């Protein structure tokens, strides 16, 4: 059974966060995010003579900040949901603030600040994000490839991907970051579903049709073999035809004939995959229709 766990992530430009500011941040998070409590403070030192530390207060971090300011590699504040902890759940939602100060050799080229949420509700992460940006004055990193919106659309797609054929054939490519391959497969799944639906109602010619041809066979206003769901608009039949034709001609054909269409644009790819899921719903809910004389 596939278990869906939410994940959110945002990256910010680095800034020096003093312990006093972090104490104020901790207080606001615990007041503003329902059930949140500072559960763990982690301090990683880049030098061998200092040990990695984990604690549940900011006392050790304050000491490290003022006594060993050039030896901290990163530190993090982890907030957990007290209700889950109280019920000794095997998993509990987490909100993390992670501040990367320097690399293993003391370099500072990759300094950054990250917020992460795992297993939490979207609105809790949004509040956590709002408090961090307002209280700590964080500024989003303009060079970060994947922002909060990306994680939202990714979650929406994974949560609402009900079609098992789509799951089996598309998820592998997505997990390897091969978004064009995933889209190419998704459109083939939609096309095959539409072809099978047409053949099931007696349109044998659909076996050798592709893309736009299938859209006409299925939904042409006079000769179409299928009636789309929710056919209340006066031009619903033609609208369904044009919708499928448009997707096939605009994206399906591009993905078949070009090596790269969306490339690494994961945000747009996930949105397009959600659209493919909707097309599958239209196909599944369409009913047989007798062509008009």
pLDDT at position 1 is 36
pLDDT tens digits, one per residue of 248-263: 999 988 988 887 899 8
| CB contact set of 216 (below 8 Å; sequence gap of 6+) | 223, 224, 241, 245
| 3-state class (DSSP) for residue 78 | strand
Q: For residue 4, count other CB atoms closer than 10 A to its CB.
A: 11
Distance CA 211, CA 201 (A): 18
The alpha carbon dihedral of 193, 196, 201, 205 has a sign of: positive
Give Rg (Cα) of the chain: 26
Nearest Cα to Cα of residue 179 among 207, 150, 200: 150
Element (DSSP H or E) covering residue 114: strand 112-118
How is residue 59 written in tokens? 């006392």
End-to-end alpha-carbon separation of the chain, Å?
Answer: 50
Domain range annotation of the chain: 7-144, 164-288
Nearest Cα to Cα of residue 75 among 48, 105, 94, 55: 55
| 3-state class (DSSP) for residue 140 | strand
How is residue 174 written in tokens? 């997505």
In degrees, rounded to 5, the angle at the alpha carbon of residue 216 between the alpha carbons of residues 215 and 218 is 65
| 3-state class (DSSP) for residue 154 | helix
Residue ranges of the chain with pLDDT lower than 70? 1-4, 48-51, 83-91, 105-106, 291-293
| 3-state class (DSSP) for residue 255 | helix
Distance CA 220, CA 291 (A): 9
pLDDT tens digits, one per residue of 112-167: 999 999 988 889 999 999 999 999 999 999 888 777 788 888 887 877 777 778 88
pLDDT at position 192 is 95
């Amino acid at each position: 059974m596939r278990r869906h766990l939410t994940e959110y992530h945002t990256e910010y430009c680095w800034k020096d966060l003093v312990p006093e500011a972090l104490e104020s941040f901790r207080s606001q998070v615990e007041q503003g995010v329902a059930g949140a409590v500072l559960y763990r403070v982690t301090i990683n030192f880049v030098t061998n003579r200092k040990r990695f530390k984990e604690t549940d207060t900011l006392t050790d971090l304050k000491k490290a900040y003022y006594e060993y300011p050039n030896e901290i590699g990163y530190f993090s504040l982890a907030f957990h949901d007290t209700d889950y902890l109280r019920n000794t759940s095997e998993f509990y939602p987490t909100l993390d603030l992670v501040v990367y100060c320097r690399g293993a050799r003391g370099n500072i080229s990759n300094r950054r600040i990250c917020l992460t949420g795992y297993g939490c509700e979207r609105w809790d992460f949004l509040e956590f994000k709002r408090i961090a940006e307002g209280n700590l004055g964080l500024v989003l990193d303009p060079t970060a490839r994947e922002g909060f919106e990306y994680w939202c659309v990714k979650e929406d797609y994974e949560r609402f991907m009900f079609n098992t054929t789509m799951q089996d054939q598309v998820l592998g490519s997505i997990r390897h970051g091969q978004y064009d391959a995933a889209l190419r497969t998704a459109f083939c799944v939609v096309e095959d579903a539409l072809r099978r639906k047409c053949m099931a109602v007696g349109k044998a010619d659909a076996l050798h049709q592709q893309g736009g041809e299938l859209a006409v066979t299925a939904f042409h206003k006079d000769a179409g073999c299928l009636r789309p769901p929710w056919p209340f608009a006066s031009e619903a039949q033609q609208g369904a035809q044009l919708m499928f034709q448009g997707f096939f001609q605009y994206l399906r054909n591009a993905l078949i004939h070009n090596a790269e269409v969306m490339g690494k644009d994961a945000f747009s790819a996930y949105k397009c995959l959600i659209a493919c899921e909707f097309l599958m719903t239209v196909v599944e809910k369409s009913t047989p229709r007798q062509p008009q004389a």
